[in-house]
Chains A and B, each alone.
Chain A
């Protein structure tokens, strides 16, 4: 090869310094989860112990063991966060079904219970027929829980949807595509719309007399104002013996902080109990 060419190449090689490969690091700090939507390993709706009126009947060891069992199940299957009002699809193992499993999609009406006994009810309207199915959240025969749409309503008890005038709220296509939910670092917008109900003579339950009074349903239009006596009107609007009975209210703020502290240690406790690690680690 030509000597001048070689010299040029060597000079370029010696003076050439490769630039540093740019690393993409996000400059914003990691945002913490919003207060209502914590990580399921730290806090969830079913970790709150049930209300016990004579306080000395509580057994904290029992509650802690149940929370550890919930943690074990959550390691095996991914249970997404959802609220009453959101649309879910659940696949369940069934020996006598074709393909050995059965899938049901529906809107969650309510979520109730503590620990492994946490149940939720899905409602779907198939061929003009309302169908409801109750599932245990931590049941071992549940193979998959898919979140199709994440919604949060003001009410946590949506059983008035059974008497809705327009039943298309609960009509859910089983082949519906899953919509990606908002990440947990952002606040979820709460649905504040009101739903019309059928005639009051067809109601299964007196929704205007329950406390907490449903916000997401039109109740006033079913009553003629002149016919209601003042005293009755105020009573069924406030249900004062339920709203103002302070000893029967359940104060959860301190309990929530305690549970979150406890759940940080529970992973370690579970591993020790399952003999994956020794207690010294």
Chain B
């Protein structure tokens, strides 16, 4: 049932509901085409949610009515649709949730450029471009060694369960 007030609404407004969807549509298509974008932090944060949700929907398959409707709206060009289904889906078939990486850039210290605001880079994981200089966790600390071993055990168990 519809609610009157937007309680718990975690989305930004971006100038109105129709303009917002049009903006996000262009950003999502650009991400799928170029696999790395530099925009403001607000736009990148929103596209992250929509791209991940879109990839979750494509996992239902092309024959699903809902999937077809949504993909035809969000990715109208056929070249990008083919890329979605043939390149990105197999890449993320084992991933569970996070398909994108959001890296925040440093702010301008120059007074003229400071009005541009917080910029960020959003990229799809596993892309063929050179990697971002993102600070990653040290894999040799005790916690990370134990976590890596636990993850290996989990994968082994899951593959065993699938065969059985």
- Which residues of B are found within 8 Å of A248, using beta-carbon distances? 11
Q: Is the CB of B18 within 8 A of A241?
A: yes
Q: Is the CB of A240 within 8 A of B50?
A: no
Q: Does A110 contact B (CB under 8 A)?
A: yes
Partner of B8, one of A54, A240, A247: A54
Q: How far is the CB of B75 from chain A (nearest CB, A)?
A: 12
- Which residues of A are found within 8 Å of B11, using beta-carbon distances? 53, 247-248
Closest chain B residue to A242 by CB distance?
A: B17
Q: Is the CB of B53 within 8 A of A247?
A: yes
Q: Does B42 contact A (CB under 8 A)?
A: no
Q: Does A129 contact B (CB under 8 A)?
A: no
Q: How far is the CB of B55 from chain A (nearest CB, A)?
A: 11
- Which residues of B are found within 8 Å of A244, using beta-carbon distances? 21, 69-70, 73-74
What secondary structure prevails in chain B residues at the interface with A?
helix
Q: Does B20 contact A (CB under 8 A)?
A: yes
- With A and B bound together, what is the CA distance between A235 and B2 in angstroms? 19
Q: Does B57 contact A (CB under 8 A)?
A: yes
- Which residues of B are found within 8 Å of A246, using beta-carbon distances? 50, 53-54, 57, 70, 74
How would residues 195 to 233 of chain A score, 1 for a CB under 8 Å from any chain B CB and 0 otherwise? 000000000000000100000000000000000000000
Known: A53-B8, A246-B53. A240 touches B18 (CB 8 A): yes
Q: Does A81 contact B (CB under 8 A)?
A: no
Q: Does B49 contact A (CB under 8 A)?
A: yes
What class of interface size applies to chain A in its complex with B? 10 to 19
Q: Is the CB of A52 within 8 A of B8?
A: yes
Q: Does B9 contact A (CB under 8 A)?
A: yes
Known: A241-B17, A245-B21, A246-B53. A112 touches B1 (CB 8 A): yes
How would residues 157 to 188 of chain A score, 1 for a CB under 8 Å from any chain B CB and 0 otherwise? 10000000000000000000000000000000
Q: Is the CB of A247 within 8 A of B50?
A: yes
How would residues 97 to 129 of chain A score, 1 for a CB under 8 Å from any chain B CB and 0 otherwise? 000000000000010100000000000000000
Within 8 A of A (CB), among B11-42: 11, 17-18, 20-21
- With A and B bound together, what is the CA distance between A89 and B1 in angstroms? 23
Known: A240-B21, A244-B70, A247-B49. A110 touches B10 (CB 8 A): no
- Which residues of A are found within 8 Å of B20, using beta-carbon distances? 241
Partner of B1, one of A110, A241, A245, A247: A110
Q: How far is the CB of B133 from chain A (nearest CB, A)?
A: 29
Q: How far is the CB of A253 from chain B (nearest CB, A)?
A: 9
- With A and B bound together, what is the CA distance between A112 and B17 in angstroms? 26
- With A and B bound together, what is the CA distance between A146 and B11 in angstroms? 43
Q: How far is the CB of A183 from chain B (nearest CB, A)?
A: 29
Q: How far is the CB of A56 from chain B (nearest CB, A)?
A: 11
- With A and B bound together, what is the CA distance between A210 and B1 in angstroms? 11
- Which residues of B are found within 8 Å of A241, using beta-carbon distances? 17-18, 20-21
- With A and B bound together, what is the CA distance between A52 and B7 in angstroms? 10
- Which residues of A are found within 8 Å of B17, using beta-carbon distances? 241, 245
Q: Is the CB of A157 within 8 A of B1?
A: yes
- Which residues of A are found within 8 Å of B53, using beta-carbon distances? 246-247
Closest chain B residue to A119 by CB distance?
A: B1
- Which residues of B are found within 8 Å of A54, using beta-carbon distances? 8, 10
Question: Which residue numbers of B lie inside 8 Å of A, CB to CB?
Answer: 1-2, 8-11, 17-18, 20-21, 49-50, 53-54, 56-57, 69-70, 73-74
Can you name 14 A-B residue pairings with CB atoms under 8 Å?
A53-B10, A53-B11, A235-B18, A240-B21, A240-B73, A241-B21, A244-B70, A244-B74, A246-B50, A246-B57, A246-B70, A246-B74, A247-B49, A247-B50
Q: Which 10 pairs, one residue from A and one from B, show the smallest C-beta to C-beta distance? A: A241-B17, A112-B1, A53-B10, A244-B73, A246-B53, A54-B10, A247-B49, A241-B21, A247-B53, A53-B8
Apart from A54-B8, A244-B21: 7 A-B pairs, beta carbons within 8 A: A52-B8, A53-B9, A235-B18, A244-B69, A244-B74, A245-B17, A246-B54
